[in-house]
Amino acid sequence: MAQLDPPGSSSQSAQSGKVAQANLARQAILSAELKTVGYELLFRDGATNTATFEDGTRATSTVLTNALAEFGLDAVVGNFPAWINFQAQYLLDELPIPIAPKALVIELLEDAEPSDDLIQRLRTLAKQGYRIALDDFRYRADLAGLVEVAHIVKVDVLGRTLDDIASEVSEFKRYKVELLAEKVEQMSEHEAYRKMGFSLFQGHFVCHPELFRQKRPPANRVALLRLMSELYVADPNINKIRELVQQDVTLSYRLLKWLNSSLFALPHPVESIQQALVMLGMNRLRNLVCLIVLARIDDRPSVLLETALTRARIGERVAPHFKLAPEMMFTVGLFSILDALIGMPMDQIFENMPLAPEVALAITSREGACGRLLSGIEAHENGDWAGVTKSGLNLEILTSAWVDAIVWVRSIRSMMSSAGGGTPTNRKPRQLT
């Protein structure tokens, strides 16, 4: 699905602009309903791939003045607030915070000592409208002063028993704080923590499939899988694909709307699937149809599709540096969490979807050249810079591709919203013939 950008688009500008020297990643903050409500920004110094600075004040200052200026806060988080780590000393020195209160959650790092000066500074920031979060926090009686001024407490739940976490939660219930469970790894844990009183969540639990209690996919997935399977046979039958698309009026409408949008900037209007095939080629048409099909799954957390799209776009952008086909890496990224999106085991999905062996191996085992790149993209999601380097990815190339992907995904989401109402009632869509 290469070259989807219209000339002069913002994503092309991101590609051609100066490569950032600071490494950046983000992790979604989710509500109890699994809606995105913010992003924590993760940084490393680009020169050394570490976070080693002479002092914490300089680290925070570098993040705010260099990294954010380099990437652009709006490009990275959109309309959501950024959650950024602050060293206590930065706050005590009353250094400038160049982000408006509504656009920022101040995360106080866990090594902060609860001095009177720090607590007073936090009170002042709270009065200015900033929300204060205590990062990676473990309750102790001597830290009560910090909890009293905080709005949010982030509790690291990884590797802890439910009883241990519940005991700590009971301490926090005496305060007016919102609880965030971080490093949640399984969807089943999300429900347990929600019942305990957590209302915010962070982790890759949404990317992991739930326990499967059925041998067949839900009824509304059968037609989607049938179409996707037909697209990925060794010699796709264009007539079969046309028939399957044509049977779904809404899909026909969306496909035509997307193809004729500024996102593609094609030289001539597209009115048939044959035209689309000639103009795009089978690989790009295949990926576009699958993207639209997956976008119609509306009973899964939206962050799932966002993750799949971001991985696909990054994969497409970095593939040429490894002499891999961009369309193939796009497919690898898009399908990397297909099990969680569809709601059935990956091996069961692939029984009826004959993907190329290197693609299937990359997705199921993270093996081969495509699998290594996918592992690097996943490491970047976690802020695991060593994992990125181990995969063979160049951090500067990856970061540039990631910023481009954020902009591109936003344009895709906009297209989804504009086409989300299905077929307009005042006219019949053209048929894909």
Same domain, yes or no, for 245 and 194? no
Residue 77 CA to residue 83 CA, distance in Å, equals 10
Which pLDDT tens digits describe the chain residue by residue (433 residues)? 433 332 233 333 333 334 345 678 899 999 999 999 999 988 765 544 444 445 556 666 666 765 577 778 888 898 999 999 998 989 998 988 989 999 999 999 988 989 999 999 999 999 999 999 999 999 888 899 999 999 999 999 999 999 999 999 999 999 999 999 999 998 888 999 999 999 999 998 888 765 444 445 554 566 677 788 888 877 777 788 778 777 777 788 888 888 888 777 778 888 887 787 778 788 888 888 888 888 878 778 889 999 999 999 999 999 999 999 999 999 999 999 988 888 778 888 887 788 889 999 999 999 999 999 999 999 999 888 899 999 999 888 998 899 999 999 988 887 776 655 443 333 343 344 3
Supply the range of the domain harboring residue 287.
219-418
Phi, psi of 267, deg, nearest 5: -65, -25
Residue 169 CA to residue 174 CA, distance in Å, equals 9
User: 265 Cβ partners below 8 Å, 6+ apart?
Assistant: 5, 6, 7
Same domain, yes or no, for 140 and 163? yes
Same domain, yes or no, for 19 and 147? yes
Are the beta carbons of 109 and 143 closer than 8 angstroms?
Answer: no
Indicate the residue among 162, 183, 207 that finishes a domain.
207
Q: Is 138 part of any domain?
A: yes
Q: Is 428 part of any domain?
A: no
Same domain, yes or no, for 135 and 203? yes
Q: Is 286 part of any domain?
A: yes
pLDDT value, residue 63: 63
Instruction: Specify the number of domains making up the chain.
Output: 2
- Cα torsion angle, 20, 22, 27, 29, sign: negative
Q: Is 424 part of any domain?
A: no
Residue given tokens 């059968």 in the structure block: 222
Same domain, yes or no, for 230 and 379? yes
- The enclosing H or E element of 370 equals helix 368-381
Q: Is 426 part of any domain?
A: no
Same domain, yes or no, for 120 and 247? no
Same domain, yes or no, for 186 and 258? no
Q: Is 375 part of any domain?
A: yes
User: 97 Cβ partners below 8 Å, 6+ apart?
Assistant: 64, 104, 106, 125, 130
Same domain, yes or no, for 235 and 275? yes
Residue 345 belongs to domain with CATH number: 1.10.3210.10
User: 234 Cβ partners below 8 Å, 6+ apart?
Assistant: 354
Same domain, yes or no, for 76 and 46? yes
Q: Is 427 part of any domain?
A: no
User: 233 Cβ partners below 8 Å, 6+ apart?
Assistant: 354
Per-residue DSSP letter, 297: -
pLDDT value, residue 322: 94
Are the beta carbons of 238 and 276 closer than 8 angstroms?
Answer: no
What is this structure's pTM? 0.80
Same domain, yes or no, for 164 and 22? yes
DSSP 45-90: BTTTTB---SSHHHHHHHIIIIIHHHH-HHHHHTTSPEEEEE-HHH
pLDDT value, residue 172: 94
pLDDT value, residue 168: 94
Same domain, yes or no, for 195 and 271? no
Residue 398 CA to residue 219 CA, distance in Å, equals 38
Indicate the residue among 184, 207, 230 that finishes a domain.
207
Same domain, yes or no, for 298 and 273? yes
Residue 119 belongs to domain with CATH number: 3.20.20.450
Q: Is 257 part of any domain?
A: yes
